[in-house]
Chain A
């Protein structure tokens, strides 16, 4: 069975890019979310193997979403997608329960390495 992933980013562009990278690596993108609220809802419904999470999103930010998701499922595996210069936010996200992070612009190899680390 392919491993499943939920992609959370308010930019379609980023969702598409991350989705392509992961699909190429054999993942099944089971859902996408454009806001933190959607991310939490969909995590609860889909229980994917992996979540990719943008930090800055409308409605509920990525960090709060991580907090909610890990409250929902302490075993949740969340990969933060961050921009340069967001170190404090990334650390906050890690503290909230995210497992790892990648920095934009995404290099597919880095994304996949991070994913494998998380799922190892």
Chain B
């Protein structure tokens, strides 16, 4: 027998532990969210009178995984809760998969709610374990476990789940064959799953000769009384040394004794007693039909690296295309075209890998709504739609906070108290919905309620108070559209005022939510109607990793401006100048004096700024070196060419726009549109961030990408 190699004592190294913690956090969170989502499906199925076998199975798998993870990480509280939930789910599932609607009929109606409570508690326990907090509320956990056990006990087990159907299990007093030895085996006290271990012993022994007279019979091994001691007969022709070796090779064997047998008695097959019940053992586990594979998980850093390489492939392709154009080789040009198509497809695939369905976020929302409803005393039903819409994981992670804000507001301040709803002729239960859908390269998320709508009057009054009278009257005179209303609501001074919260019932944390959405490169829109409700719509990019930009040159440097926020480009012909006298020659204007110039864009005057002046005012990262991939360290222009204010006769203006605010940026030349991979830029000390990142250009230089919303806020703050 081969001696097992000495296993190194495997203590947790500090590094190791951190790595396992991170893995645990990622995976336990994901499965907690999946379990919660599946349990919502359970509730829905039960409400519709359907057997929720699939949903139970999905929940079971996730809970089971959490149990394993928690046990491995010694998070006992999580493991205990997961174990109890798993048992309850298994009991319910075996009832449900037996197709017995009667089984569901006899499930207490409170069970789905109990399961959801358990999912919440599991979520909390997982978060506490991740935070390193001791499992708190152990008593409430115990109560929950007890309730789960009670619920599991209440479910009639489907007949298929029982294992006592085999008649061969009865001890048969049969004698030994002529010429046999009796083998007595005692398993180690520490042996896990002794019945399974004993089975391996029998199989090993069975490789030597016919196994007979097994006692206690194998079907009894799974009963509580089995202590790991059993015996069987083997033909005496088998050498004793090899019997002992074979038995010990099964593992976890504490003792083997081999004795001569008593006189022969007619034969009955002990092997059959082992083999037959096995064929009948059934379990519903692990056989869901038609589920799509979750796939292999990749480290995010790997994907980033892959995307960087795709970006560089695009750069190389562009250079190759230029070379092909110079030589005029048509075969080469065609090949370059093929490379381009493959590179584009590759980029799409890599980006798709970064996307995850919103389900994971959605799974956390019912809990938020229930809590908000409980604390605010509202009766609210939540509808979720579009969980299959996929988005960059980084964006989804950042969405939890703003969506949570909006949802809590919708419940606590959007939906009216029941009596007011009744007075308005509405059903007593308020409706809150979160919907997601895809529009080209954007993902839209709407948080809607059927409440009373935002009280414009109250918001205006409060704004007027804050601004000291005069401005308020002006604002009141003009009808306030939804965009203007949102601006007022999300102004920090207004939104945090408790009085407005009480009066208008809106705006708590709206500035924070808006800031979070902006950080994700998104925008927020509001629609509200008195008596009908309010909808906040978030528009988010699909990914932060790739962006369509217009590459421009100004003052000898290259810049990138996201197309998403580009309203139009204008040449600087006099026709567009709102005030030619004030503008003078825009190219000669001192950078800091840009305030005086205006352009007409879509019938309205917009301020004209010089891009390089803006850049210098906010500490340009254009000369950044050493960032990004190899070869990316070169600034995009030589120092001589970068001298400020180099006049150019070919000036154009880019009108950029975000959330209803527009500014025109004067640049020397527009080079073209590109889809580029965004690379993070190092933090700029002591300057406001108006660059969302950088990208590598065909010539290897780095072009900063303008963060239009930040830039516009900076402009309006001046």
Contact = CB atoms under 8 A, between A and B. Distances in A.
Contacts of B69: 11, 13-14
Interface in A31-62: 32, 34-38, 55-62
Interface of A: 10-14, 16-17, 21, 24-26, 32, 34-38, 55-64, 82-92, 94-95, 99-101, 103-106, 108-109, 112-114, 116-117, 119-120
B330 interface: no
B139 interface: no
B576 to A, nearest CB: 57
Contacts of B275: 95
Contacts of B68: 11, 14, 83, 104-105
Given A34-B295, A87-B195, A117 B72 contact: no
A62 B286 contact: yes
B291 A95 contact: no
B620 interface: no
A17 B72 contact: yes
B29 to A, nearest CB: 12
Contacts of B163: 88
6 contacts: A10-B65, A59-B291, A87-B195, A95-B278, A105-B68, A117-B250
A82 to B, nearest CB: 7
A89 B192 CA distance: 14
Interface in B1-35: 1-5, 7-8, 10, 20, 23-24, 26-27, 31
Contacts of A85: 83
Contacts of A38: 293
A106 B278 contact: no
A116 B20 CA distance: 26
B7 A116 contact: no
B287 to A, nearest CB: 5
Nearest to B298: A12
B294 A116 contact: no
B249 A120 contact: yes
Given A87-B193, A105-B71, A12 B251 contact: no
B334 interface: no
Given A38-B293, A62-B286, A83-B64, A91 B196 contact: yes
Contact of A64 (B20, B279, B287, B294): B287
B294 A34 contact: yes
Contacts of B259: none
B602 to A, nearest CB: 51
Given A11-B31, A91-B195, A91-B278, 11 more contacts: A12-B26, A32-B296, A58-B294, A82-B193, A88-B222, A89-B283, A105-B72, A105-B74, A108-B10, A120-B1, A120-B2
Contacts of A99: 200
B67 interface: yes
A106 B72 contact: yes
A24 B7 CA distance: 9
A13 B71 contact: no
B168 to A, nearest CB: 14
B286 A91 contact: no
Nearest to A83: B68
Contacts of A106: 72
B297 interface: yes
B61 A10 contact: yes
B565 to A, nearest CB: 38
B371 to A, nearest CB: 29
